[in-house]
Structure 1
Amino acid sequence: MKESGLYALPSEANLDMPRHEVDEPKKAAKKQNQRFLVTTLLSRLFIIAVTFGLSAYGAKEMYEVLSTNQITWLQWLFLTLFCINFTWISFAFSQATLGLIFKLSPFRQKRREEDTEGVTAILLPVYNEDPVRIRASIEAMHDDLIEKAPGKFAFFILSDTNQAENSIKEKQTFYPILNQDEHACPIYYRRRLNNAERKAGNVSEWVTRFGSDYECMIVLDADSLMSAECLTSMSRRMAAEPSLGLIQTLPTIIRADTLYSRIQQFANQCFGPIYAAGLTTWHGNASNFWGHNAIIRTKAFAEACGLPILPGKAPFGGHVMSHDFIEAALLRRAGWGVRFDTDLQASYEEAPPSLIDVMVRDRRWCQGNLQHKAFVNAKGLHFASRMHLMTGIFSYFSAVFWFALISVGFALAVQAHFVRPEYFSNLSLFPNWPVFDFEKARSLFVLSMALVLAPKLFGWLNAMLHWRQCRKFGGPIILTLDTLLEVLVSALYAPILMFSQFLVVMDVLKGRDSGWKPQSRDDGANKWSETTRAHIYHTIFGLLLAASAYFLSAQLFYWSLPITFGLICSIPLSWLSGGAKRGNLLSKLGLLKGPEERRPTAIVKRLEQKIHQLDQNNPLDSDQDMPLKSYIDNVSFYTWHLAQLPEQEGQQFDRHKVCAAWQIENSDSIEELMSHLNEQEHLAIIKYRSLFVKLQKFLPKNKACA
């Protein structure tokens, strides 16, 4: 870092970002590119026709399955729940079918690109994450950009880390790579002292302080990785389409080393492109935003995306949690296009390592998605934006409907077992025989399973028909084995996730707030005791369900095994899901190795090299138990941190500040000070300039600074 650049930030370029209301009038759409309008319209008609056509057929068949002289109210309830669930899987099937059609089509139009002017900001929000892994990713992208696009990009590490030890380790890790070389690729760092509105507030704070100097910003996640070619292409596409407010890429999952993450990685790389192709064709210029690996026009974001504060308390009131869906909807309401470009390559992310980590993430996502109910009927939203919000909500409520369908189905079985049918309930010479068409029921079950599995078959077929892609998966035999393995393992985990999401939805509806927890980035290896606590209710429910089915009839027991077996075995299945040692056994057998693992791209290779280098020379190896000592051992680091702290501290009373000042004054060494500080006092020292200056008493006499 330059000696004069102690602040590690450029000059501020303020940009107004007004806060909007939930209900606001729609603005006229910017002049859009007309090339894809017909395709988008036809795709939407296809989705509607296939979804409702299949749903109507399924409803008719189920009605006939349940047909008697008089359908009971419980059967009507079962029919209603079946129709809701069947419509959901029909909708997914229609999108996958549309995706396969476009994947196999030889006619593909290339997106326009133009040369860019100015610098594109790359924002990397951080919240109590592993800074070493993030630094490796930044260094890999930074080196790639210096070689291929010098002077075109600038990194901003936007820290919301609110734990003292993590904050110091973070600064210690990032400090050596910070620079202000605008002719190459500067790397800036900023830590917020107030974590208001979480990630959305983190990004919007940057927009209001620096946004005016940057035409576009690329938002990444802590585990994101993108090549210089991808970053450059995103900027060039935004330059070519002035009406676009956002371009979302399709991130590819990499670096999976556990059973569960490998299953996700394979599904993402084999089946994901089929779904994505379907989504991008019917979304058109009203697509969605997933919060990372996307480029946004900064002024459009400032103009449209000042999020409203919802009335009431959490979980449904307060700040918007899942802000990305809402930001896409608000951009579209303001007339800006939102596009999903699936052809952009070398956009990467990582997956949660275990089933428990997915459940923890689901708790936060579920609350955020259910909060979107306040926006579904908001004025001015595009119908596609409403569909995105409703799909997000139903992605969790579907678990409730599946659970309800199973419960009502068992209730019908109980009724059939215990209630004697009335054959002569009416005054008639002819009995009312209860009719249950098992042949139609079997056919409908086969159809339902076909709709569920078809997208996976489409992904396998697409890879088999494109030989280069097939070779990346290890050839046709390995690809087929991996597909079958993914189907089997996913089927085992599906009922566990279904019941878990059902409990999560119930938890949110009870009014419990999830808080804000960072995502796990380790290998997800859980102890048996932890796994048992997480899945004991799944196991009990599975045992009760299986016992009930067996008591009612052997046939029902076998029909329910796909659900009950996964629930009963949820503890060992969850334990197996995490842990690199267990997951990498599959890799040694040549199974579930993604294309990026078999033939990694240059940027992925560079990331692995950086991770290896940092592992060999970890900047956090020293003073891990006393991170505050790192300032005393490195006066340059001390001076840099001091320069970040504001001159004005405010006049409000802070008890922790007073206590920390007393601790510093009455400690003879940094070791003694650290032994007495609590978390809040620790935070006060690195937050207040007047306190941090007092640490100079511990600096070596020949290195003390003013």
Structure 2
Amino acid sequence: MNAEIFPTSIPEPEGILKEAFDSRKFTYRRLGFVGVLGLLSLFGIYLEYRFLLINGISPLEWATLLLFCFLFPLLAFGATTAIFGTIQRIRGGDPTRISGLISGQNASPKELPPTAVVIPIHCEDVARVAAGLESMMKSAASVGLGENLDFFLLSDTTDPDIWLQEEKAFSKLSRKPETKGRVYYRKRRINLNKKSGNIADFCRRWGRRYRYMIVLDADSLVTGECMLNLIRLMEAVPNAGIIQTVPKIIRGKSLFQRLAQFGTWLGNPIFGAGSYYWQVFSGPFWGHNAIVRLKPFMEHCGLPGLPGEGAIGGKILSHDTVEAALIRKAGYTVWFAYDLEGSYEECPPNLLESLKRDNRWCQGNLQHFWFLFVGGLRISSRIHILLGILSYGSSLLWALLLIATSFTVMADTDYYRLASIPEEWAQFQESMYLPVFYGLQIYTILILFMPRILSFLDGLFFRRKESGIGFFSFIISFFVEFIQSVILAPAYMVQYTRFLWMTFWNRKIEWGPQNRDPSQGIDRMAAARALLPQAFYGTGISIWLFVYYPVLFYWLLPITGGWLLSYFWGVWTSSSKQGELWKKRGFLLTPEESKPDTLLSDTETLEKEYSEFLEGMESGRGIFLSVVDPLLFRFHTSRLRTRKKESDARKRYMDVLVSNWKESGPGSLNSKEMSRLLWDKRILSDLHFWFWETDLSKTHPWWKERFLEYQTRIRKEQIVSWFR
């Protein structure tokens, strides 16, 4: 192992880092944060206790108070984070933030250590991935990192057509002079352990060649300047194991994406600064748009199997939080570079796709339950694990609290209505019951919306101009995004409760391909099955409450209203036309849209180029080209190994598959059988020579039809090249 690439010890912090590592100041930070959190929580719990005490506390009300004592601090946690984030924003930034070290780094990019940029993919839009990869390579070269970075496209794709599209795109990308020798493609034959297994496979094969690894997702984009800053920060903080950036959402086309894009742009700075205040060097890791120190990562972040094979057992689905905990356990730090510019990602195109992603995250986070009790983990790591679990697990508890509070109000209303005459009941309501009830409600709403209020003020007075959005456009954009959160929050609560229920019944979720294309719209039937049932029972509950318990009707109206409107809102916001219309009118704009960005514009241009290059490779056509087209055939087979030994039984089995393909077309084979053929160099070589030597009139029509398409496309390309 190269000692220059991998230092053998963890150096002590020096310079301005000493302030961040000052245990006394660090303790004061956390005590201050916990103190404010406690004060906000205790006052809310006191108001709840006063409300329940009006008619004496019954067993149901004690249960309600217990739930409230557990859940209200979660609301207060968000408010406290926003308060401290606002304070840091006002004072000009946290003095211990890691990005403050960038100005002191003057080393030439050529002097920096070798770094790998890895992009694990699984059945993604190949044109988008290739375009993003090439634009990032250009951006990295523009800041002098051309010789320091190697880019790895790590494929776990199971669809044969998409696999061959990846190879064709890579063949184009790797031939370009500016990328040659800097980009590598690896297709795993066995997709063991999904994404985490893909990263582990890279570490085993190539990890010892690099000091750092920048991990990206298929939809990630990171500027060369951001990569340079991440490497320099790693060099400046020798005991840093991970530095996580906060990616901004970009390329929003549907209205749902644009609302998410605007909301994260508005809220992330305050939340990031507030989170960093109590985390400092014990930050989060999200598994992408981050840089990792490879030596400790390889030595300490091997993921164990979980007990059992049920929904929260077996292989770990969400690996990032566990890896951050393990690297902290090893003595390294995890930093949250919340204000580092140039890190981007995309978001799901509609509500249904967002819920599908959350379903996977929910089960993955619930698996982390086992790590709450692992010895040696830092308290901050346990807090991150617990917050991840509660981000989904608390939905069921909130639903139970709403039900318990509703029954409490019903019981009180019935008691006072029967125990007093109407005039006394009305006077009691106005003088005692409703003031306490409304006081509790107003305080709860204030704490709930405190982050949005502070983000709104921060955006209005300090950040609006940087987005290129007008004053009234900003106000309207904020309130539309706010309305979406109010409508969808109750729907998310129901859906997360359903996810928990499915997990409790041991229904295991698998990580599948993600739909990132807004042009496809939303599957209305699937959305109806997910969202309309809550609309029906929300209507029934609302009518019943309006007749018998008007106070509860108005109190629960934001919840029942969200249930009624979530389906229609989800369908409306899934439209790309609506997204484009709002953009043209100047709403929901972000700085990445109003200011020119070379990385984003290059990606848009290259995506069109790769889309044209890969045209005609869908629906089995890519499989055909891998056999017939001389260039793609040579490229594909050059990446396959010739079997040294092959049993007679296997030869007979493979020959049967080939015979079926020749005589009946690819429709006679399933995906696994087709993949076996595409992995076999001998079979593909035989097929290639068979095709060019055989009489196609005697074969299955599929071969002749695909060949006519192939000839037509070649002639079109020749004609276009002549006119150019």
- Verify same fold: TM over 0.5: yes
Cα distance per residue 1:403-426 (max 9 Å; x no partner):
1111112222443465688969xx
Change in 2 beyond 3 A, CA 1:395/1:685: same
Q: SS of the counterpart of 1:381?
A: coil
* Match in the other structure for 2:348: 352
Map 1:104-119 → 2, pairs under 5 A: 104-106=90-92, 109=95, 110-112=100-102, 113=105, 115=107, 116-119=111-114
Cα distance per residue 1:55-83 (max 9 Å; x no partner):
11111111111114631011111122222
* Match in the other structure for 1:226: 222
* Match in the other structure for 1:688: 680
Map 1:539-578 → 2, pairs under 5 A: 539-578=535-574
Q: Is residue 2:115 matched to residue 1:129? A: no
User: Cα offset for 1:305?
Assistant: 0.5
Q: Does the 8 A contact of 2:55 with 2:412 survive in 1? A: no
Change in 2 beyond 3 A, CA 1:69/1:437: closer
User: Cα offset for 1:196?
Assistant: 1.1
Map 1:149-160 → 2, pairs under 5 A: 149-160=145-156
User: Cα offset for 1:343?
Assistant: 2.3
Map 1:303-452 → 2, pairs under 5 A: 303-416=299-412, 437-452=433-448
Q: Does the 8 A contact of 1:290 with 1:325 survive in 2? A: yes
2: CA distance, partners of 1:631 / 1:531: 38
Q: SS of the counterpart of 2:536?
A: helix
* 224-233 or 512-521: bigger deviation: 512-521
Q: Does the 8 A contact of 1:238 with 1:244 survive in 2? A: yes
Q: What letter is aligned with 2:656?
A: W
Q: SS of the counterpart of 2:18?
A: coil
User: Cα offset for 1:660?
Assistant: 4.2
Q: Does the 8 A contact of 1:66 with 1:436 survive in 2? A: no
User: Cα offset for 1:156?
Assistant: 0.3
Map 1:69-108 → 2, pairs under 5 A: 70-106=56-92
Q: What letter is aligned with 2:292?
A: I
Cα distance per residue 1:96-135 (max 9 Å; x no partner):
1111111111365412436343321000000111111111
Cα distance per residue 1:306-345 (max 9 Å; x no partner):
0111110131111111100000000000011110112211
2: CA distance, partners of 1:652 / 1:493: 58
2: CA distance, partners of 1:299 / 1:279: 27
Q: Does the 8 A contact of 1:180 with 1:187 survive in 2? A: no
User: Cα offset for 1:360?
Assistant: 0.4
Q: Is residue 2:674 matched to residue 1:674? A: no
| 1:458 corresponds to which of 428, 439, 454 | 454
Change in 2 beyond 3 A, CA 1:461/1:470: farther
* Match in the other structure for 1:46: 32
Q: How many residues align?
A: 665
User: Cα offset for 1:668?
Assistant: 5.2
| 1:664 corresponds to which of 612, 634, 658 | 658
Change in 2 beyond 3 A, CA 1:145/1:652: farther
Change in 2 beyond 3 A, CA 1:294/1:556: same
1: CA distance, partners of 2:468 / 2:648: 61
User: Cα offset for 1:91?
Assistant: 0.6
Q: Does the 8 A contact of 2:620 with 2:666 survive in 1? A: no
* Match in the other structure for 1:31: 12
Q: Does the 8 A contact of 2:165 with 2:617 survive in 1? A: no
User: Cα offset for 1:464?
Assistant: 3.0
User: Cα offset for 1:37?
Assistant: 3.1
Q: SS of the counterpart of 2:288?
A: coil
Q: What letter is aligned with 1:415?
A: A
* Match in the other structure for 2:698: none
2: CA distance, partners of 1:685 / 1:183: 31
Tell me the TM-score normalised to structure 1 length.
0.89
| 2:481 corresponds to which of 479, 482, 486 | 486
Q: SS of the counterpart of 1:484?
A: helix
* Long gaps (5+) in structure 2: 3-8, 421-427, 695-724
* Match in the other structure for 2:721: none
Change in 2 beyond 3 A, CA 1:581/1:649: farther
Q: Does the 8 A contact of 2:155 with 2:185 survive in 1? A: yes
* Match in the other structure for 1:589: 585
Q: Is residue 2:624 matched to residue 1:637? A: no
* Long gaps (5+) in structure 1: 1-11, 14-27, 425-432
Change in 2 beyond 3 A, CA 1:145/1:409: same
Cα distance per residue 1:552-598 (max 9 Å; x no partner):
22222122111101102222122113121122222122111222122
Cα distance per residue 1:514-569 (max 9 Å; x no partner):
11212211116124333212223222231232133223222221221111011022
2: CA distance, partners of 1:274 / 1:119: 34
Q: What letter is aligned with 1:489?
A: Q
2: CA distance, partners of 1:409 / 1:654: 68
Cα distance per residue 1:360-384 (max 9 Å; x no partner):
0111000000000100121111111
Change in 2 beyond 3 A, CA 1:644/1:402: same
Q: What letter is aligned with 1:692?
A: L
Q: What letter is aligned with 1:99?
A: G
Q: Does the 8 A contact of 1:456 with 1:483 survive in 2? A: no
User: Cα offset for 1:29?
Assistant: 7.5
Q: What letter is aligned with 1:598?
A: S
Q: SS of the counterpart of 1:339?
A: strand
Q: SS of the counterpart of 1:318?
A: coil
* Match in the other structure for 1:621: 616
* Match in the other structure for 1:144: 139
* 633-642 or 56-65: bigger deviation: 633-642
User: Cα offset for 1:447?
Assistant: 1.4
1: CA distance, partners of 2:93 / 2:569: 44
1: CA distance, partners of 2:478 / 2:537: 29
Q: Does the 8 A contact of 1:180 with 1:188 survive in 2? A: no
* Match in the other structure for 1:243: 239
Q: SS of the counterpart of 2:101?
A: coil
Tell me the TM-score normalised to structure 2 length.
0.86
1: CA distance, partners of 2:327 / 2:644: 36
| 1:477 corresponds to which of 472, 494, 506 | 472
Q: Does the 8 A contact of 1:460 with 1:479 survive in 2? A: no
Q: What letter is aligned with 1:31?
A: E
Q: SS of the counterpart of 1:340?
A: strand
Map 1:247-326 → 2, pairs under 5 A: 247-326=243-322
Q: SS of the counterpart of 1:125?
A: strand
1: CA distance, partners of 2:93 / 2:492: 39
Change in 2 beyond 3 A, CA 1:114/1:212: farther
CA RMSD of aligned residues (A): 2.8
2: CA distance, partners of 1:29 / 1:437: 61
* Match in the other structure for 1:17: none
Q: SS of the counterpart of 1:296?
A: strand
Q: What letter is aligned with 1:315?
A: A
Cα distance per residue 1:454-511 (max 9 Å; x no partner):
21122222223326x5341513332222112211121011111111111111111111
Q: What letter is aligned with 2:75?
A: I
